[in-house]
Amino acid sequence: MEIDVRLPVIVRVDNVGAIFLSENITTSNNTKHVDICSKFVKKYCENGIVKILFVQSENNDLDIMTKNCPGPLHEKHLEKLVGTRKETAS
């Protein structure tokens, strides 16, 4: 089985700290536990395999999978992911 992958892989992130770690190699007591992972991600960003883009939370459709979104925002994201529900006549 072959999987066609288009590069760069776009990762949309609303966490500025995560973006910073992907661009800078810095280690502190607060980031030691992610040191190896951030170096791994940084290497792929530098090689053009992964591209990290900032997207605001209200425009990030996958937030409904990871966050408790308020009703209207949840509905907005849900419509984009699933589509609108058509009522059927009984």
Q: Where residue 53 falls among pLDDT bands split at 50, 70, 90?
A: very high
Look up the pTM and report it: 0.63
- Whether residue 2 lies inside any domain: the answer is no
- Whether residue 77 lies inside any domain: the answer is yes
Please, where are the H alpha helices in 1-90? 16-23, 35-46, 63-66, 71-82
- Whether residue 63 lies inside any domain: the answer is yes
Tokens of 9: 């892989």
Residues 12-36: what's their mean pLDDT? 74
Q: Where residue 68 falls among pLDDT bands split at 50, 70, 90?
A: confident
Residues 49-65: what's their mean pLDDT? 87
- Whether residue 53 lies inside any domain: the answer is yes
3-state secondary structure 64-86: HHHCCCCHHHHHHHHHHHHCCCC
- Domain tally for the chain? 1
Structural domain containing residue 68: 9-82
